[in-house]
Amino acid sequence: MTAGSAPSNPAVLPPVIAIDGPSASGKGAVASRVAAALGFHYLDSGAIYRAAALAVARAALDPARSGQEALADLVGRMPLSFSAGRVILDAEDVTDSIRSEECGRQASLVAALPLVRLALLARQRAFRQPPGLVADGRDMASVVFPDARLKVFLTASAEVRAERRYKQLMDKGIHANIAQLLQDIRHRDERDSSRATAPLQKAAGAYELDTSSLTIDHAVAWVLERYERQQSS
Ligand code: CDP
């Protein structure tokens, strides 16, 4: 199967809800709660890209200078697993370390490389298990699960997203500067939206939801209601 092509018989595959959106749009919180409400599996594809960035840094490779083949080969083989909400890379719990802003920046650089994206495709699709999957990221609806039963594009203003990220980091005891976060978010939006492969954009058939003035509970309820409507139509 090539990137972007639909599986040959989507009818027999478990349903997928794809939730894409820019940095700190709330997609992780919304997607994980929707998954819990439906008893579905959950894929945080950003965590895979973040772990890939960490694996690249630890191998002393440079996303901007090392050859794409070498980077893709490394991330395709990285020993990564998810267990009880924890992210394990090479037998080490990296759940917290991959959340740093620096790791997000590096992930965005690594994620711009088409061969790296291809090397991570099968890993992401393997999360599609019964009874279903909620997947969040940038290209869940367009490339990884183009046959998703429901496609949602979550947005929020850059200012609201910077505030959310600030609160997230402070809650984890990580020092942050809101002006710097806003600048980082704008840069990351720009890089993720302008890259040639799987750019961040609303997929065809996706519903857009602006969460700037919504609580997470409201956004979760909105997605669940759309999914139920989709099921009964
Ligand atoms: O937490 P945040 O929304 O800022 O980012 P993330 O979802 O953890 O993803 C980190 C970076 O990985 C993004 O800025 C993207 O460049 C990249 N990414 C991607 O390209 N495709 C995905 N499906 C998920 C993440």
Of 23-27, 46-50, 136-140, the range with the lowest mean pLDDT is 23-27
Q: How far is ligand 1, taken at its centre, from the CA of residue 10, in Å?
A: 26
Q: At residue 41, does pLDDT exceed 80? A: yes
Q: Is 44 in the pocket of ligand 1 (CB under 6 A)?
A: no
* Burial of 221 from C-beta contacts in 10 A (0-12 / 13-18 / 19+): middle
Average pLDDT over residues 45-68: 94
Q: At residue 161, does pLDDT exceed 50? A: yes
Ligand 1, atom 4, residue with closest C-alpha: 23
* Burial of 97 from C-beta contacts in 10 A (0-12 / 13-18 / 19+): middle
Q: How far is ligand 1, taken at its centre, from the CA of residue 11, in Å?
A: 29
pLDDT score recorded for residue 11:
59
Residue of 27, 56, 108 best suited for mutating to test ligand 1, as the one with most atoms within 8 Å of CB: 108
pLDDT interval class at 8 (50, 70, 90): low
Domains of the chain, by residue range, sit at: 16-40+131-233, 46-128
Domains 16-40+131-233 and 46-128 share a fold: yes
Q: At residue 2, does pLDDT exceed 50? A: no
Average pLDDT over residues 185-210: 90
Ligand 1, atom 13, residue with closest C-alpha: 108
Q: What is the pLDDT of residues 205-226, one digit of tens each?
A: 999 999 999 999 999 999 999 9
| Mean pLDDT for all residues in the chain | 92
pLDDT score recorded for residue 68:
93
Q: Is 155 in the pocket of ligand 1 (CB under 6 A)?
A: no
Ligand 1, atom 8, residue with closest C-alpha: 46
Q: At residue 19, does pLDDT exceed 70? A: yes
Q: What is the pLDDT of residues 118-133, one digit of tens each?
A: 999 999 999 999 999 9
pLDDT interval class at 9 (50, 70, 90): low
Percent of the chain clearing pLDDT 90 (strictly above): 76
pLDDT score recorded for residue 205:
95
Residue of 48, 49, 136 best suited for mutating to test ligand 1, as the one with most atoms within 8 Å of CB: 49
> What pTM, to 2 d.p., does this model score?
0.90
CA-angle at 20, arms to 184 and 9, nearest 5°: 150
46-128: CATH topology: Rossmann fold (3.40.50)
Residue 3, CA distances (Å) to 77, 126, 143, 184, 186 in order: 19, 14, 6, 29, 27
CATH superfamily of 16-40+131-233: P-loop containing nucleotide triphosphate hydrolases (3.40.50.300)
